[in-house]
């Protein structure tokens, strides 16, 4: 007997995705739109955002800007409220890296990563909660990383920011649970990206040998987790970290 498809439809819902111009953020935007949501995609790079919108005939709207800028955050949420009157899903994906050993890390590189990856997510949540608390529903999904749980040399700032997102997820989940708002995190493992494409086969093989499933993940694997946590089927899941890493970290 054929299995019935899982009804993860998001028809009529409104989503905001940060860091949406490329990579995982662009995939999240597409899969949410494919599931029926109206998606407001924001990032600093306007050209890439515009190209993304052109393929979705009005279902995806691009708003370029820096979410660490309070004026952009306020105007973005005001724009969503004026057009749709609601905000159902927030995906905090925007992130940067400034990798180097802790001994050599400049204060400005520490601050830049924490400001974008952690503080930016917190401030977006603050803005989004106005609409979600009013409508007494919402889904907030924060993009963490397997390195938040395992650590990684040369990424003290990035690891700290992604570990901070896990703590932020759990704290906000407790605060807003009574209003039917869920807050969860997704922690990807090694994912096929342009960054991994340039690695030597020897390094790729070594990395894959650490993964019980024996392969890198794809952007589709992470996007499926996002859509699930945004759906009604995940209504009783909050304050959790969904680990999508092929078994790289179990705990």
Give 116's DSSP letter: I
Q: Is 158 a catalytic residue?
A: yes
In angstroms, the CA 243 to CA 222 distance is 9
- Report how far Cα 232 is from the mean position of its chain's Cα atoms: 18
Q: How far apart are CA 29 and CA 11, in angstroms?
A: 14
* Mutual angle of helices 23-34 and 46-54, in 10-degree steps: 30
CA-CA distance, 54 to 45, in Å (whole number)? Answer: 15
Q: Using an 8 Å Cβ cutoff, are 241 and 185 in contact?
A: yes
List helix spans (H) across the chain.
23-34, 46-54, 70-84, 107-114, 120-135, 147-150, 156-176, 194-197, 201-209, 219-230
Choice among 93, 148, 158, 172 that is catalytic: 158
- The residues assigned a catalytic role are 158
């Amino acid at each position: 007997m054929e299995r019935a498809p899982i009804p993860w439809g998001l028809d009529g819902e409104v989503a905001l995705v940060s860091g949406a111009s490329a990579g995982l953020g662009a995939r999240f935007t597409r899969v949410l739109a494919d599931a029926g949501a109206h998606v407001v995609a924001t990032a600093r790079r306007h050209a890439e955002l515009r190209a993304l919108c052109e393929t979705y005939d009005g279902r995806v709207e691009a708003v370029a800007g820096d979410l660490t800028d309070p004026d952009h955050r306020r105007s973005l949420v005001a724009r969503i409220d004026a057009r749709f009157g609601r905000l159902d899903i927030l995906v905090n994906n925007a992130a940067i890296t400034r990798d180097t050993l802790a001994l050599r890390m400049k204060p400005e590189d520490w601050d830049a990563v924490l400001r974008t990856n952690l503080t930016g997510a917190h401030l977006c949540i603050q803005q989004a909660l106005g609409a979600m608390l009013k409508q007494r529903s919402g889904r907030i999904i924060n993009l963490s990383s397997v390195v938040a749980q395992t650590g990684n040399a040369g990424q003290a700032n990035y690891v700290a920011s992604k570990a901070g997102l896990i703590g932020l997820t759990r704290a906000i989940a407790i605060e807003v649970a009574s209003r039917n708002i869920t807050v969860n995190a997704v922690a990807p493992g090694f994912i096929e990206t342009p960054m991994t494409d340039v690695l030597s086969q020897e390094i790729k093989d070594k990395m894959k040998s650490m993964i019980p499933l024996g392969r890198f993940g794809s952007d589709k694997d992470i996007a499926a987790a996002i859509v699930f946590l945004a759906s009604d089927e995940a209504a009783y899941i909050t304050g959790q970290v969904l680990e999508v890493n092929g078994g790289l970290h179990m705990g």
